[in-house]
Amino acid sequence: MKKSNNSEKHSRLENISQMKLTRFLFVHSEIFVLLFLISTIFTLYWQVLGFPFTYMDDPTYVIKNTHVQKGISLDSIAWAFSFKHGENLNWHPLTWISHMLDYQLFGLNPGMHHISNVFYHTLNTILLFLSLRWMTNSVWKSAFVAALFALHPVNVDSVVWIAERKNLLSTTFWMLTIISYFYYTRKPNTISYLLIIFTFCLGMLAKTMLMTLPFVLLLLDYWPLGRLKPPRSGKDNQQWASFFHDAARLFIEKIPLIILTLTFIYATMLSLKYSAQISANQNFPMHLKIQNAIVSYLIYMGKMVWPKDLCIFYPFPEFIPLWKPIVSIVALLFITAMALLKSRKYPYLIVGWLWFLGALVPVLGIIQAGLWPAIGERWAYVPYIGLFVIIAWGIPDLFSHIPQKKIIFTGAVIVVLTLLTLRTLFQIGYWKDDVTLFSHCIKINPDNNVAQTNLGNIYAFQGKSEEAFHHFHEALRIHPNDVFALDGLARLYNKMGQYDKSIQFYKEEIGYHPKDVNLYFNSNFDLGTVYAAKGDLEKAIKQFSYVISLNPDYALAYYNLGIISVQRQDMSKATEYFSLALKLNNEDKDSHCSLGAVLMKQGRIDDAINQFNEALRIDPHFKEARNYLASAGLIKKKVDENIVKLEQDKVREPNNPDVLQKLAVLYAKKGENSKALDNLKRLVEIQPANPNGYYNIACVYAKEGNVNLSIEWLKKSLDKGFKDWNLLKTDKDLDNIRTSHFYKDLIQKISDK
């Protein structure tokens, strides 16, 4: 009996322990879910810390974006909100600011930029779980949706691709807007509604993907918020009248958000117009874009169920068999009809389904900008949430009558999440470098011309010419008029010194896209660089001048004209062009260094040193600037030593013309024009009949940009008998007065003689 009592006592203690554990898990279930989600995401994605930037779009967004690399500043923020970027860039100011913040914190460390993306994905997962948990009061179904969202391999592109920050950041504010809306429905007041508007606007500033969110909020009114209840009887007119009244009231409630949506859409379209990206609409006929949009819905659904052969870019089809859109329309209509029929009993079906259909609308490709794919897995990031909701709530309802369903469901969930995790792990691995990423795309589809071209460019950058040629020609086999492949070949031939072939491919490329401003502009600029490399400076100048006529704010064109001016020994023009380049982009180390070198040749040592120091501020490891700085320092030291010696001589012999002349020259070289003028004016006092002193004063005033005084002293020089006409015609110090009427008339008189 004693043994039996001990056994019963032990059994009772076990039951109590299990009950306590169950109660503890129930009370703290949200914490366990959040810890699971956070730890799983970071464990899965931690490998991206060692991944580089991606060749596709990352340079535009970070690596080569001088505005982003200014960090957070008034100028960079103003640029982020500007519609006229002058580049092939989209308008999403908040996203640009997030990249600026990353650069300010981490520089060009790609791993940290990747980890920032992982942070945003983790935050989105947490917000998704909390919003569903609070709206539905269901912990584990909400947790399953969040887990599917966190671990699904289709979302890898959005997380790992640094350029897709806009997708992650906009989703953060999508979820915050939903949470704000939930709070508003519980405590409706002006402040809570303004919070909805605030988070919604921030999301639209990150990416206009939120344009369908006001309609999603209407869906949430139906389920799970229960603010819009369908009539219980189909024949009760009073119930239907009440239903439509409530629907109208809730729609009116969303009108401010709809007005904001239209405003942000207009702003985005305006930016696309300014950056000439809308021209990409002409690439495909409208009927083909509509067909592809319809077919893509089933493709997205298929990839959710069977995430195989995922790729960063799927080429837009040139032809779609008619049966595909017909079958797709029938399937979509059937699913919609079934969701509507079952909506009274299972409201999450129609809500999840319309969420999926509606959230994809902005990225279906009816309006295209830039290089547009057939589908983009990254675009399913938010739309898939609707399907995940259907799965999480629908499967338990579908199999609600089977015995031991909790054990079966738990096992099924573990298996599904494990398989998704493993698949995601492999998918992340494809992003470890560009060669792996695009080779994977070609393995899936050898006729992926975009992947072929990108791989060609990567191999060309690595100096593997044979592999680069192979992939460029493969791209042209697929599309003989692929301007990006033609551009790659032109660049490769230029790099190899085969300039004539490079020019041939650039001209062919330009001929294929005369209406695409961005491509046309870039190709003409590159053609100018080939002419310059070939030594045909006149044609190079013509090309760069034409580029500036297309885009007067393109700093690199002015820089290249500066380099050509140096080659032509025209230091005055070189100074002008480098200064213009820096006015447009003051963070260009090469322009600072080149301007410094020109100033050093002109004897303006202190100004040159300032430019070299600016170049080193931008890049402390810039070896060329450091070498120039050392040389300038030696010259400055020698000049200073000579000035000290001459000043001592001047004290002993204050009226020595030779000393005064040498001091004036050295001070002018240092850019200390006032001291140069003091010595020259003292010189003309001593030698009032010497025309050279007056002429030199005119030169100093001309270099300062004081045209009137320069002309005045030049007239005095001529009155005193200055007759060195060749020097007068060629002296670079007089460049600033060459456009004056006096100078032109003077040169004309000299020529007439």
**CA 535, CA 530: separation in Å to the nearest integer?**
9
Domain co-membership, 520 together with 561: no
Domain co-membership, 615 together with 666: no
State which of 601, 629, 649 marks the end of a domain: 649
* Helix and strand element counts for the chain (H, E): 35, 0
Residue 419 pLDDT more than 80? yes
* 717-726: long-range pairs with CB below 8 Å, 24+: 717/691, 717/692, 718/691, 718/746, 720/688, 720/689, 720/690, 720/691, 720/694, 721/691, 722/691, 722/692, 722/694, 722/695, 724/695, 725/750
The pLDDT value recorded for residue 273 is 67
Please, are residues 712 and 677 in contact by the beta-carbon 8 Å criterion?
no
Helix (H, G, I), strand (E, B) or coil at 343: coil
Domain co-membership, 175 together with 198: yes
Asked if residue 173 is part of any domain, the answer here is yes
**CA 191, CA 436: separation in Å to the nearest integer?**
51
Asked if residue 514 is part of any domain, the answer here is yes
Question: Percent of the chain at pLDDT above 70?
Answer: 92
The label of the residue with tokens 């949706």 reads: 145
pLDDT per position as a tens digit, 108-142: 999 999 999 999 999 999 999 999 999 999 999 99
Q: How many CB atoms lie within 10 A of CB 17?
A: 10
Number of C-alpha atoms within 13 angstroms, CB side, residue 338?
10
Angle at 44 between CA 40 and CA 48, to 5 degrees: 140
Asked if residue 442 is part of any domain, the answer here is no
Please, are residues 75 and 253 in contact by the beta-carbon 8 Å criterion?
no
The pLDDT value recorded for residue 753 is 63
The helix-helix angle for 139-151 and 29-45 (nearest 10°) equals 10
Domain co-membership, 669 together with 641: no
**CA 390, CA 351: separation in Å to the nearest integer?**
8
Domain co-membership, 33 together with 47: yes
The pLDDT value recorded for residue 14 is 59
Domain co-membership, 251 together with 287: yes
Please state the rounded mean pLDDT for residues 309-329.
95
**Closest Cα to residue 61, out of 94, 89, 91?**
89
Domain co-membership, 181 together with 112: yes
Asked if residue 445 is part of any domain, the answer here is no
For the chain, what is the domain count?
Answer: 4
The helix-helix angle for 589-601 and 571-584 (nearest 10°) equals 150
pTM above 0.75, yes or no: yes
Residues in the chain: 753
Q: Which of 62-66, 90-94, 519-523, 554-558 has the lowest mean pLDDT?
A: 519-523
Asked if residue 615 is part of any domain, the answer here is yes
Asked if residue 11 is part of any domain, the answer here is no
CA dihedral over 342, 348, 349, 355, signed as positive or negative: positive
Output the CA–CA distances (angstroms, integers) from residue 14 to 17, 23, 25, 27, in the order listed: 5, 14, 16, 20
Please, are residues 258 and 210 in contact by the beta-carbon 8 Å criterion?
no
Give the DSSP per-residue string, 252-311. HHHHHHHHHHHHHHHHHHHHHHHTT-GGGGGGS-HHHHHHHHHHHHHHHHHHHHS--S--
pLDDT per position as a tens digit, 4-24: 555 665 566 556 555 555 555
Containing domain of residue 161, as a range? 18-429
Output 234 or 692, whichever has higher pLDDT.
692
Domain co-membership, 631 together with 672: no
**Closest Cα to residue 611, out of 635, 580, 632, 640?**
632
**Confidence at 317, pLDDT banded by 50, 70, 90:** very high
**CA 213, CA 359: separation in Å to the nearest integer?**
8
Residue 677 pLDDT more than 60? yes
Asked if residue 704 is part of any domain, the answer here is yes
Say which CATH number the domain at 511 has.
1.25.40
pLDDT per position as a tens digit, 347-404: 999 999 999 999 999 999 888 777 789 999 999 999 999 999 999 999 999 888 888 7
**Confidence at 341, pLDDT banded by 50, 70, 90:** very high
**Confidence at 749, pLDDT banded by 50, 70, 90:** confident
The pLDDT value recorded for residue 278 is 47
pLDDT per position as a tens digit, 73-98: 998 899 899 876 555 578 899 999 99
How is residue 226 annotated by DSSP?
-
The pLDDT value recorded for residue 281 is 38
**CA 231, CA 241: separation in Å to the nearest integer?**
9
Residue 147 pLDDT more than 70? yes
- The percent of the chain in helix, strand and coil, each rounded to the nearest 5, is 80, 0, 20
**Confidence at 704, pLDDT banded by 50, 70, 90:** confident
The one-letter amino acid at 202: L
The pLDDT value recorded for residue 16 is 56
**Confidence at 282, pLDDT banded by 50, 70, 90:** very low
Residue 720 pLDDT more than 60? yes
Please, are residues 389 and 145 in contact by the beta-carbon 8 Å criterion?
yes
What residues contact residue 241 under an 8 Å CB cut-off, 6+ apart?
none
> Would you put residue 86 in left (φ > 0), alpha (ψ -120 to 50) or beta?
left
Asked if residue 274 is part of any domain, the answer here is yes
Domain co-membership, 677 together with 592: no
Please, are residues 387 and 352 in contact by the beta-carbon 8 Å criterion?
yes
Say which CATH number the domain at 577 has.
1.25.40.10
Domain co-membership, 392 together with 264: yes
Please state the rounded mean pLDDT for residues 720-748.
85
Domain co-membership, 640 together with 514: no
The pLDDT value recorded for residue 173 is 98
* Element housing 235 (H / E): none
Residue 62 pLDDT more than 50? yes
Domain co-membership, 638 together with 493: no
State which of 616, 649, 682 marks the end of a domain: 649
State which of 649, 673, 696 marks the end of a domain: 649
Residue 3 pLDDT more than 60? no
pLDDT per position as a tens digit, 612-668: 999 998 888 899 999 999 988 888 888 888 888 988 888 888 889 888 888 888 888
- Mean pLDDT score of the chain, rounded to an integer? 89
How is residue 317 annotated by DSSP?
P
Alpha helices (H) along 82-189: 93-106, 110-136, 139-151, 156-160, 165-186
pLDDT per position as a tens digit, 530-563: 999 999 999 999 999 988 888 888 888 999 999 9
Q: How many CB atoms lie within 10 A of CB 565?
A: 21
